[in-house]
């Protein structure tokens, strides 16, 4: 089934950015299941607005370049097009049911309590945010801070084959 995500985000330089994120989410769902954590996600707009990202209260974000840049690019606001003036809180500031936030790529990923990320952002004295492509606003968190603040770290010596550091305990 071919999907046209470019229609939803016409200003994205990567017409497959949503598809890439969903593929990473599927990968994480399979990996978490192998660890005994069963995760499912709501994909329809209606369910996401009414119920949130998932019944397990986990949101997963693909950060393709974090291994190369040495930092996470954490989403705080979005708009579907540069023609829209109003920015909508999203990512860690989206008012939804998510308690947990997984961000990373196929080499490294981190599990955070969503409130920890909010507190970190609000406590930064010199916030460096970037409005990428005019549609997503993010802030940067160095991987050293990510390791210090995360609940769990997932690391892969071979891309896509994570090792878990510490016991995995998530309760919704």
Query: For residue 141, is it within any domain?
Result: yes
For the chain, how many structural domains are there in total?
A: 1
Averaged pLDDT of the chain: 83
Query: For residue 171, is it within any domain?
Result: no
Q: What is the pTM of this model?
A: 0.84
Query: For residue 56, is it within any domain?
Result: yes
pLDDT in tens, 72-90: 999 999 888 888 889 999 9
Query: For residue 4, is it within any domain?
Result: no
Question: Is residue 5 a contact partner of residue 16, using CB atoms and an 8 Å limit?
Answer: yes
Query: For residue 9, is it within any domain?
Result: no
Query: For residue 126, is it within any domain?
Result: yes
List the beta bridge partners of residue 73. 140
Burial per residue of 66-83, b for 16 or more beta-carbon CB atoms within 10 angstroms, e otherwise: beeeebbbbbbbbbeeee
Query: For residue 170, is it within any domain?
Result: no
pLDDT in tens, 22-48: 999 999 988 888 878 888 888 888 888
Instruction: Specify the residue for token string 């097009």.
Output: 81
Instruction: Note down the domain range covering 48.
Output: 14-165
Q: Which residues contact 172 (CB under 8 A, 6 or more apart)?
A: 55, 56, 57, 99
């Amino acid at each position: 089934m071919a999907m046209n995500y470019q229609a939803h985000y016409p200003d994205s330089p990567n017409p497959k950015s949503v598809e890439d994120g969903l593929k990473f989410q599927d990968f994480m769902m399979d990996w978490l299941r192998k660890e005994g954590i069963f995760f499912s996600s709501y994909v329809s707009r209606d369910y996401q607005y009414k119920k949130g990202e998932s019944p397990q209260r986990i949101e997963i974000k693909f950060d393709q370049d974090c291994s190369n840049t040495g930092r996470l690019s954490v989403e705080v606001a979005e708009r579907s097009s540069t023609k829209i003036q109003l920015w909508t809180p999203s990512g860690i500031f989206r008012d939804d049911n998510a308690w947990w936030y997984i961000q990373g790529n196929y080499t490294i990923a981190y599990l955070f309590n969503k409130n920890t990320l909010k507190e970190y952002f609000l406590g930064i004295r010199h916030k460096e945010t970037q409005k990428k492509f005019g549609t997503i606003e993010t802030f940067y968190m160095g991987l050293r801070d990510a390791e210090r603040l995360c609940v769990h770290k997932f690391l892969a010596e071979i891309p896509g084959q994570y090792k878990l550091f510490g016991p995995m305990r998530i309760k919704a």
